[in-house]
């Protein structure tokens, strides 16, 4: 429960911090940190408009998308304190809860009958498929190193005391951070501020969404950022007491938001055909972590 509350609190500020950092890097004052939440509140006050060609799948997709991410957040522990959903192999459930929400988001875009949204859905499905091995490989390496198969047990047993533990924690943190940017369609994979449909990925999928539905999609994105940052925080919290763990957790959330903001300020967007290569490289890095753990444990000769 502690982790869920902290994720919800972090989600309120995460996107605002990213926007603030980008504004400062561009030499502008920029909007306030709470501006994204104010935008969502304004959307919640508006009614949704539906096209005549859309069906029930389009109408229910935003709610399912949000529910899937909330369920995934329930799996995230806080150091040695298990999440509300915790069992052996829960990281597999975590991944496929997110996949369920992504699936409904994709078929919701296809339900509009728009060629642009269908194009964005195809790209989203491809990038998600390529990103999934990286998550399972890095979680598999952590499971092999600790001898456990649940989030709570893995993070509680992972003490960054040895060089190998630190190296694996840093690699895992990097992979989770890049996965967060891929899952939320941020730079360098996608540009959330672009207005050209031919180059959009996630944004073009939600062109027909409006009002409360669009607000739910925005909230889901904020939660996903905070959720991945929570996984990064758990890599370093370990068995730290709650009193010290909470400030560390929040500090890592802010650090992740700042890194993403700086990255978006100084990184150019990749060409579309380079994105699969970039995402596949992430899986290769995770595979190196697996080989490193196997080598250190004597399983690889």
Q: What is the pLDDT of residues 163-204, one digit of tens each?
A: 677 788 888 889 999 888 888 877 777 777 777 666 677 777
Asked if 78 and 111 touch (Cβ cutoff 8 Å), the reply is: no
Each of the 301 residues of the chain gets a pLDDT tens digit; together they read: 788 888 999 899 988 888 888 888 888 887 888 888 998 999 898 888 888 888 888 889 999 999 999 999 999 988 778 888 888 888 999 999 999 999 998 888 888 888 888 888 888 888 888 888 889 989 988 888 888 888 888 888 776 666 677 788 888 889 999 888 888 877 777 777 777 666 677 777 888 888 888 899 999 989 998 999 999 988 888 667 667 788 888 898 899 999 988 888 888 777 877 888 888 888 888 888 888 777 776 665 5
Q: CB pairs under 8 A, 24+ apart, for 116-123? A: 116/197, 116/198, 116/200, 116/204, 116/207, 117/204, 117/205, 117/207, 117/208, 119/197, 119/198, 119/204, 120/200, 120/201, 120/202, 120/203, 120/204, 120/205, 121/205, 123/201, 123/272
**pLDDT value for 42:** 92
pLDDT at 301: 54
Paired tokens of 136: 């399972």
Radius of gyration of the chain from its Cα atoms, rounded to whole angstroms? 19
Give the pLDDT score at 171.
Answer: 87
In the chain, domain spans: 2-296
Query: 183 Cβ partners below 8 Å, 6+ apart?
Result: 98, 128, 131, 224, 228
**Degrees, nearest 5: CA angle 280-295-292:** 35
**Chain-wide mean pLDDT for the chain?**
84
Is the peptide bond prior to 188 cis by the omega test (within 30 degrees of 0)? Answer: yes
Chain-centroid distance of CA 272 in Å reads 20
How far lies 87's CA from each of 2, 28, 172, in Å?
17, 47, 21
Cα(77)–Cα(150) distance, integer angstroms: 10
Secondary structure, 3-state, the chain: CHHHHHHHHHHHHHHHHHHHHHHHHCCCCCCCCCHHHHHHHHHHCCCCCCCCCCCHHHHHHHHHHHHHHHHHHHHCCECCECCCCCCCCHHHHHHHHHHHHHHHHHHHHHCCCCHHHHHHHHHHHHHHHHHHHHHHHHHHHHHHHHCCCCHHHHHHHCCCCCHHHHHHHHHHHHHHHHHHHHHCCCCCCCCCCCCCHHHCCHHHHCCCCCHHHHHHHHHHHHHHHHHHHHHHHHHHHCCCCHHHHHHHHHHHHHHHHHHHHHHHHHCCCCCHHHHHHHHHHHHHHHHHHHHHHHHHCCCCC
């Amino acid at each position: 429960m502690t982790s869920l509350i902290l994720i919800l609190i972090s989600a309120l500020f995460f996107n605002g911090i990213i926007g603030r950092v980008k504004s400062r890097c561009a030499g502008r004052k920029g909007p306030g940190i709470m501006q994204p939440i104010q935008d969502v509140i304004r959307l919640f006050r508006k009614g949704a408009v539906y096209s005549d060609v859309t069906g029930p799948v389009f109408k229910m997709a935003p709610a399912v998308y949000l529910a899937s991410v909330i369920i995934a957040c329930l799996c995230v522990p806080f150091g040695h304190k298990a999440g509300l959903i915790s069992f052996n192999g829960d990281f597999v459930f975590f991944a496929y809860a997110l996949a369920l929400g992504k699936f409904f988001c994709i078929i919701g875009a296809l339900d509009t009958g728009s060629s642009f949204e269908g194009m964005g859905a195809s790209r989203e499905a491809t990038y998600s498929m390529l990103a999934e091995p990286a998550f399972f490989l890095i979680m598999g390496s952590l499971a092999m190193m600790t001898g456990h198969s649940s989030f709570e047990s893995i993070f509680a047993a992972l003490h960054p005391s040895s060089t190998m533990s630190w190296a694996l924690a840093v690699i895992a943190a990097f992979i989770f951070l890049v996965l967060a940017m891929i899952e939320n369609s941020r730079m360098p994979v996608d540009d959330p501020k672009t207005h050209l449909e031919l180059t959009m990925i996630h944004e073009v999928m939600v062109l027909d969404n409006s009002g409360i539905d669009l607000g739910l999609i925005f909230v889901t994105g904020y939660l996903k950022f905070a959720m991945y940052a929570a996984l990064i925080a758990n890599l370093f919290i370990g068995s730290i007491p709650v009193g010290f763990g909470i400030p560390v957790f929040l500090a890592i959330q802010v650090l992740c938001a700042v890194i993403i903001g700086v990255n978006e300020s100084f990184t150019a967007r990749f060409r579309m055909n380079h994105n699969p290569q970039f995402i596949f490289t992430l899986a290769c890095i995770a595979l190196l972590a697996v080989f490193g753990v196997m080598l250190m444990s004597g399983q690889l000769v």
